[in-house]
Amino acid sequence: MGTVATIRSVADLPAIAMPTDLSRVPDPVGASRGLPAGAAIILRDAGHPDRLACGIALRRSTLARGQVLLVAGDPALAKALNADGLHVPERMAGTKAVRHWRRANPGRLMSAACHSLAALRRAERAGADFALLSPVFPTASHPGGRVLGLYRAAALAAATDLAVLAMGGIERGNANRLPKVFAGFAAIGMFADGGET
């Protein structure tokens, strides 16, 4: 199915990530066309009837565009798709399944969803290569929900050795204002139109 990405240093890690959300962005392949080579597409949508078909289409697309495909929370699907790695939901970090996957796949990427310093520490111990820290700003998907805020999120990112991507409410206007402590950002709706980043 093609060659998986090999990450050699922090500089090789994705600086932009797009998690899928088929209810908000029904064409993630089209949306990913606006992302640069090296960007990560994270296949989420657990339980969605079109997840496998979406994963197959994304694997073809990411290979053609030099992008990275990670599968959220499903090591078996990551293997079946020959994905570049695994994205670990916060509740999975440090589990036996994740530890086994990390040992069995040392050359593949692992990212982790994090919402606190404790979660970042668990992700470090689990062997994650980078973390998606959220929500930095108010989000359309969780209106009125609790947010970290930019300054607290930046302080958390500075407190870990992991590369941290800011996530949650990221749009074109605020993505450019993120402090350098963030290695990049992750967004969903920002890429819905398939526009350039």
Taking the domains of the chain in order of start, what are their residue ranges? 11-138+145-189
Closest to 197 measured CA to CA, from 65, 97, 12, 3: 65
- Which pLDDT value is given to residue 189? 86
- Which pLDDT value is given to residue 18? 97
Q: pLDDT tens, 3-41? A: 555 444 556 899 999 999 999 899 999 999 989 999 999
CATH topology of domain 11-138+145-189: TIM Barrel (3.20.20)
Residue 88, SS3 per DSSP: strand
Query: Which residues of the chain are modeled with pLDDT < 70?
Result: 1-11, 142, 193-197
Q: pLDDT tens, 33-50? A: 989 999 999 999 999 999
Instruction: Give CA–CA dist 165/104, Å, rounded.
Output: 25
- Both ends of the chain: CA-CA distance in Å? 28
- Which pLDDT value is given to residue 3? 53
- Which pLDDT value is given to residue 22? 94
In sequence order, the β-bridge partners of residue 166 are: 133, 185
Q: Tell me how far the alpha carbon of residue 116 is from its chain's centroid.
A: 16
